[in-house]
Chain A
């Protein structure tokens, strides 16, 4: 009964705020824009037929069309709209919930009810996530209908965004609550949460960049080493056959150059590791916002690999063509590195991505709860 009362109260508080309806309205616009994309036999059209793009690969029924359409949702709408803009709006509208809750004059009556403080705190926390839950749910219903109508796929995994975005949001909201509990100020908690989010984002971006560089170097080392082995074999064969061949000198020089490149790549790699390791370890203990949101892309991916990230990586070529490639070219190495990076992040376990983040959230919430239970109001 207490939980229900708090839930109803949370809903009334939210629906009394204009920002709630504004966010919902913006969501609707995003959904309508998304729904305006459609596919026909010769390509795709946007804005309900206002513009058309002809394409051999992206047209009605093609796997790339599915990859593109669902990919726009999981890569852009979720990452940009839900986990950026809507999250900022959500933080603005919910940052005052706890300061209001513990405001003198309001908290006394609530505390004098037959509910333990710790229970009260956690119930209030859970119902405060209602804002995000509702917003994302409404948004997902819209997307679900769009995807169903446009490419005939009634994919329930789209609703995966509801728990994912709510959990992602809760990492930030926990910090917001802690600051709100200590300062009793909505603005302070909004600002500090914003700073925290930025730091988190910076750390994650830095980790990604460092990871990318070091994987790049590793790919270079590996492919060059492989190539050196092959070429040395060839050279040995050549030497045995005709020791005076004019190509020997040239080839030997090429191998030596490559060995030099390997040495310098190893050097860079060692330097990068010194920076990458501490950031990577620090991130183990921090909430992984980006990777949490990335889970959705994993769940929505088509097994055949026709997805928007592959398009962006330049994988949009036939597989046979790729096998002809020399693995030491710059392009091949880059492609291999970004594939490895993608595989690295998309195979991290749920426990690592969500579990450790929730652990961090738990610690922050524990602190707030402890503060709430001990405090004289």
Chain B
């Protein structure tokens, strides 16, 4: 079942900024979905539309089985906005209590949960401290705790690792994986590609308000799966036809068929070619990302 299933989302801000141009995406039950895109792509805009913070110019589809803008269903959604500012006069526990109450979590439950979450996010000892004394990374952790105070079915995180140190990032990644095992769907925004690569089941790339690719990382990079055989000395003439690509002394064969690879090696060895290395290669998320950005800038140039 899809927890988020939207299509044709359009948003034009006042001042004629066309932030979203017909975006469609689907987030499934219990998966971690990463939305990437360069600055100003419209990621936060999309998230804000889901969270009813802004109104879409055009939208159809569902969020937790209800049309976008259905407020009661937001009870089961957790949200971490970007650049959040929590009330400075409150302590960490009070902030959690406040937002928990707005999400209609009964008091005894939210008190217990608040302490547990602060511990889980490494903020033990800071429960009774004023938010104004928190560092940026600590605020970010508190923000994630707030997103989880209502025990949501879907967690929407806008750049969760923004301002967090490497140790913290790792902890957040582990937390996301834990959330997944608890059966929650996670929808996150980021431009930290390596991070997304590590945790996401599926990703979508958005550039200039348009979705360019969507799928599992495996699906998106499969096409680029290849073996690269480096040889010493001369490249035999027949290689041009047998291999998909020959770049200098590097022979490239697309696909991941290893049995086919064996016969190619045999052929090379039969003609006394010295093989210095054989590497399975696959496009990284970064390559994919660059390609997507390029594609929008000069459509038709790549692929």
- Do A and B pair up? The answer is yes
Give the shortest distance, in Å, between B54 (CB) and chain A (any CB). 4
- The one of A12, A111, A376 that contacts B90, using a Cβ cutoff of 8 Å: A12
B77 surroundings in chain A (CB, below 8 A):
112
Q: Do the beta carbons of A5 and B83 come within 8 Å of each other?
A: no
The answer to whether the Cβ of A115 comes within 8 Å of any Cβ in the partner chain is yes
Q: Which residue of chain B is the closest to A376 with respect to CB atoms? A: B54
CB interface residues, B 66-115, toward A, < 8 Å:
71-75, 77, 79, 81, 83-87, 89-90, 94, 97-99, 101-104
A374 surroundings in chain B (CB, below 8 A):
55
Q: Which residue of chain A is the closest to B85 with respect to CB atoms? A: A105
Q: Do the beta carbons of B74 and A114 come within 8 Å of each other?
A: yes
Given the complex of chains A and B, what is the CA–CA distance between A1 and B105 in angstroms?
Answer: 9
The answer to whether the Cβ of B53 comes within 8 Å of any Cβ in the partner chain is yes
- The one of A8, A106, A115 that contacts B84, using a Cβ cutoff of 8 Å: A106
Q: Do the beta carbons of B84 and A377 come within 8 Å of each other?
A: no
Known: A111-B53, A113-B74, A376-B55. A103 touches B102 (CB 8 A): no
The answer to whether the Cβ of A108 comes within 8 Å of any Cβ in the partner chain is yes
Give the shortest distance, in Å, between A102 (CB) and chain B (any CB). 11
A1 surroundings in chain B (CB, below 8 A):
101, 104
Q: Do the beta carbons of A2 and B101 come within 8 Å of each other?
A: yes
Fill in one digit per residue for B154-188: 1 if any A CB lies within 8 Å of its CB, else 0: 00000000000000000000000000000000000
The answer to whether the Cβ of B146 comes within 8 Å of any Cβ in the partner chain is yes
The answer to whether the Cβ of A116 comes within 8 Å of any Cβ in the partner chain is yes
Most buried by A among B89, B94, B102: B102
Q: Which residue of chain B is the closest to A9 with respect to CB atoms? A: B98
Q: Do the beta carbons of A109 and B146 come within 8 Å of each other?
A: yes
Given the complex of chains A and B, what is the CA–CA distance between A103 and B84 in angstroms?
Answer: 10
Most buried by A among B51, B101, B104: B101
Fill in one digit per residue for B98-134: 1 if any A CB lies within 8 Å of its CB, else 0: 1101111000000000000000000000000000000
Known: A4-B101, A5-B98, A9-B98. A112 touches B53 (CB 8 A): yes
Most buried by B among A103, A105, A106, A108: A108
B52 surroundings in chain A (CB, below 8 A):
111-112
Given the complex of chains A and B, what is the CA–CA distance between A97 and B23 in angstroms?
Answer: 36
Total cross-chain contacts (CB, 8 A): 79
CB interface residues, A 4-53, toward B, < 8 Å:
4-5, 8-9, 12-13, 16
A113 surroundings in chain B (CB, below 8 A):
74, 99, 102-103
Q: Do the beta carbons of B103 and A376 come within 8 Å of each other?
A: no
Given the complex of chains A and B, what is the CA–CA distance between A112 and B103 in angstroms?
Answer: 9
A376 surroundings in chain B (CB, below 8 A):
13-14, 48, 53-55
The answer to whether the Cβ of A110 comes within 8 Å of any Cβ in the partner chain is yes
Q: Do the beta carbons of B89 and A16 come within 8 Å of each other?
A: yes
The answer to whether the Cβ of A329 comes within 8 Å of any Cβ in the partner chain is no
Known: A108-B48, A109-B79, A377-B53. A115 touches B85 (CB 8 A): no
Q: Do the beta carbons of A108 and B89 come within 8 Å of each other?
A: no
Q: How large is the interface on B (under 10, 10 to 19, 20 to 34, 35 or more residues)?
A: 20 to 34
Given the complex of chains A and B, what is the CA–CA distance between A334 and B46 in angstroms?
Answer: 72
A2 surroundings in chain B (CB, below 8 A):
101-102, 104
Q: Do the beta carbons of A114 and B53 come within 8 Å of each other?
A: no
B53 surroundings in chain A (CB, below 8 A):
107-108, 111-112, 376-377
Given the complex of chains A and B, what is the CA–CA distance between A1 and B98 in angstroms?
Answer: 10
B90 surroundings in chain A (CB, below 8 A):
9, 12
Q: Do the beta carbons of B85 and A9 come within 8 Å of each other?
A: no
- The one of B97, B104, B146 that contacts A114, using a Cβ cutoff of 8 Å: B104
Give the shortest distance, in Å, between A315 (CB) and chain B (any CB). 52
- The one of A106, A108, A114, A115 that contacts B87, using a Cβ cutoff of 8 Å: A106
Given the complex of chains A and B, what is the CA–CA distance between A104 and B74 in angstroms?
Answer: 20
A13 surroundings in chain B (CB, below 8 A):
87, 89
Q: Which residue of chain A is the closest to B103 with respect to CB atoms? A: A113
A107 surroundings in chain B (CB, below 8 A):
53
B84 surroundings in chain A (CB, below 8 A):
105-106, 108-109
Give the shortest distance, in Å, between A12 (CB) and chain B (any CB). 6
Q: Do the beta carbons of B99 and A109 come within 8 Å of each other?
A: yes
Q: Do the beta carbons of A115 and B13 come within 8 Å of each other?
A: no
Given the complex of chains A and B, what is the CA–CA distance between A46 and B13 in angstroms?
Answer: 66
Given the complex of chains A and B, what is the CA–CA distance between A9 and B81 in angstroms?
Answer: 20
Fill in one digit per residue for A279-323: 1 if any B CB lies within 8 Å of its CB, else 0: 000000000000000000000000000000000000000000000
Give the shortest distance, in Å, between A10 (CB) and chain B (any CB). 11
Q: Which residue of chain B is the closest to A112 with respect to CB atoms? A: B51
Q: Do the beta carbons of A112 and B74 come within 8 Å of each other?
A: yes
Give the shortest distance, in Å, between A151 (CB) and chain B (any CB). 42
Give the shortest distance, in Å, between B21 (CB) and chain A (any CB). 17
Given the complex of chains A and B, what is the CA–CA distance between A267 and B239 in angstroms?
Answer: 116
Give the shortest distance, in Å, between A15 (CB) and chain B (any CB). 8
Q: Do the beta carbons of A5 and B81 come within 8 Å of each other?
A: no
Q: Do the beta carbons of A5 and B102 come within 8 Å of each other?
A: yes
- The one of B54, B86, B89 that contacts A106, using a Cβ cutoff of 8 Å: B86
Give the shortest distance, in Å, between A88 (CB) and chain B (any CB). 23
Q: Do the beta carbons of B85 and A103 come within 8 Å of each other?
A: yes
Q: Which residue of chain A is the closest to B51 with respect to CB atoms? A: A112
Q: Do the beta carbons of A12 and B89 come within 8 Å of each other?
A: yes
Q: Do the beta carbons of B87 and A9 come within 8 Å of each other?
A: yes
Fill in one digit per residue for A115-152: 1 if any B CB lies within 8 Å of its CB, else 0: 11000000000000000000000000000000000000
Given the complex of chains A and B, what is the CA–CA distance between A203 and B55 in angstroms?
Answer: 42
- The one of A106, A115, A116 that contacts B102, using a Cβ cutoff of 8 Å: A115
Given the complex of chains A and B, what is the CA–CA distance between A8 and B102 in angstroms?
Answer: 12
Q: Shortest 4 CB-CB distances between A and B: which pairs?
A: A5-B101, A16-B89, A105-B85, A108-B81
23 residue pairs from A and B, CB less than 8 Å apart: A1-B104, A4-B101, A8-B98, A9-B98, A12-B89, A105-B83, A105-B84, A106-B85, A108-B84, A109-B99, A110-B102, A111-B51, A111-B53, A112-B52, A113-B74, A114-B74, A114-B75, A114-B104, A115-B102, A376-B13, A376-B48, A376-B53, A376-B54
Given pairs A1-B104, A13-B89, 8 additional interface contacts (CB within 8 A): A9-B90, A12-B90, A106-B87, A108-B81, A109-B84, A112-B51, A115-B102, A376-B55
